[in-house]
Chains A and B, each alone.
Chain A
Amino acid sequence: MKLALREKTDQTAKLLFRMTGLMVIAILADIFFMLLWNTVAFFLKVKPWDFISGTQWNPSGNPANYGILPLLVSTSLVTLGAMCIAIPLGIGTASFLSDYAGRKLKSVLKPTIEMLASIPSVAIGFLGIVVLGPGIARITGQSNGLNALNGAALLAIMSLPTIITVAQDALEGVPNAYKEASYSVGANRWQTLLQVTIPAASPGILAAVMLGVGRAMGETMTVLMATGNASAFPKGFFHSVRTMTATIAIEMGEVPYQTTHYYALFAIAAVLFLMTLLVNIVGEHFVNKYRKYQAA
């Protein structure tokens, strides 16, 4: 009797976990198909090429314009700027933590950096409006500092914890034997780091950068608050931009259900999804390329 009961519990548990597992996959598939469905609905009305290459985003105009090139450029600009700041800082910090910092300093720095990741994006956006924005405005002599540079700097801060943590793990994962070999031919720390440790850790560092890029491209709230959201075609880092994510967030709440505009927002999300996918594929390609020298 007791044995039968235990068997039954086991069976039930197995069923339960199988269901939860399948449910997650089903939800993901649902999201994907919803995205695809709405995107297709949009492309039945607007040609994909017009959508991608159109230089004007004005869905409420007459006639309405659904060109996302300005949004694409905005997102790219902000992401590029963020990475220009975050990659050197991130790899530098990771190198310092893994090869230079003493044990005590490390035990303070590491949790502090990880804590940076837990700051809500709204708070960082707020920082952009009240601190960074006025600062940039003063330096550049503009009326306000809500522009691509502001967004890029904030996104850099937000992607730093990810980049640092992953890159540090990669650097610390480099076998000691490589470092010893380098020191044994008379290399100093800097030479060893630059020419042996970082190249050996490059797949991991690249993964770190890719995660950072993904984080920066998908981030919404911060850029929404800090970049000014002007829908004009972006002219550079010192001009207001409007990213893809911000556009979706701003307009989704107001758009009438199942209109062309509504479908268009889904199409933007699909393009964003494709971009992150591309970033990952490119990253994976380089990771494999470097692995060639590492297979024992």
Chain B
Amino acid sequence: MSKTHIKLSATAAKLWFGNKQVLKSVNVAFPQNKITALIGPSGCGKSTLLRCFNRMHDLSADVMIEGDFLLEDQTLYNGKLSATEVRRRIGMVFQQANPFPKSIYDNINYGLQINNIPKDQRPGIIENALKESYIWDEVKDDLQKPATRLSGGQQQRLCIARAVALRPEVILMDEPCSALDPISTAKIEELILRLKKDYTIVIVTHNMQQAQRIADQTIFMYLGEIIESGNTKQIFKKPVNELTKNYVKGHFG
């Protein structure tokens, strides 16, 4: 692990919502072209940490963030990178599939247009993104259909297509399958595994089996701190920390 290239990292990351400290000095690194799973009980700060990396907390009042967040060697906050640039390079897929109330085509076109991608290239990029996200065959006949008419699993794959269309370097996924049935979940997991060769992926999940199926590296968080991190197999088979052991064995959570 030590020789792998670190794509995204945080050092001494602290975060407060008002007076409440939610992240307590978190150090974390995500290697390139790997899938890292963030696990831990509800309220432990997984999603909060994830959202630090694409500056989603900028939008809410009363949030204070400290620490160094790096994409390669560029700092995400207060550096040369603007929030919009950070978000273009670090894509996100949300817990609830959230397509825009527009057509399938426009859902992906929106991001392209925002980022000034030339008009003549867009149809190709959109088709490619839909193919990459394994939804092309299901929607190719009617790209003008409202995205809200798709099934939950299709909507989530469309959201992934929306993210990959911009060729981000990292994709953050916040429990992307928690609202989906097992079949849709399997499809998305397969998709995530295939995306690994082009992207660095960080996924928050409550599902231990999911973490074991797809993640190369797993990080266990508890009460705003990282308790243990390492190879997924090691975390699940031979956890060092007592808390980790209890959590992955399902004794609490």
Residues of chain A touching chain B, judged by Cβ–Cβ distance below 8 Å, are: 102-103, 175, 177-188, 191, 195-196, 199-200, 292-296
Contact = CB atoms under 8 A, between A and B. Distances in A.
A184 B92 contact: yes
B228 to A, nearest CB: 29
Nearest to A195: B110
A295 B146 CA distance: 9
B50 to A, nearest CB: 12
B146 A293 contact: yes
Interface string B190-234: 000000000000000000000000000000000000000000000
Contacts, number: 79
B96 A187 contact: no
Contacts of B149: 295
Contacts of A178: 98, 100-101
B101 A293 contact: yes
12 contacts: A103-B61, A177-B94, A180-B92, A181-B98, A181-B162, A182-B100, A185-B162, A186-B166, A293-B101, A294-B148, A295-B148, A295-B149
Interface string B59-89: 1010000000000000000000001110110
A189 to B, nearest CB: 9
Interface residues of B, number: 30
Given A181-B159, A183-B59, A294-B148, A188 B98 contact: no
Contacts of A292: 146
B99 A200 contact: no
B115 interface: yes
Nearest to B165: A185
B59 A181 contact: no
B102 A293 contact: yes
B181 to A, nearest CB: 17
A181 B88 contact: no
B56 interface: yes
Interface string B101-119: 1110000001100110000
Given A178-B101, A293-B103, 16 more contacts: A102-B61, A175-B98, A178-B98, A179-B59, A180-B94, A181-B159, A184-B56, A185-B87, A186-B85, A187-B114, A188-B84, A191-B114, A196-B110, A200-B100, A293-B102, A293-B146
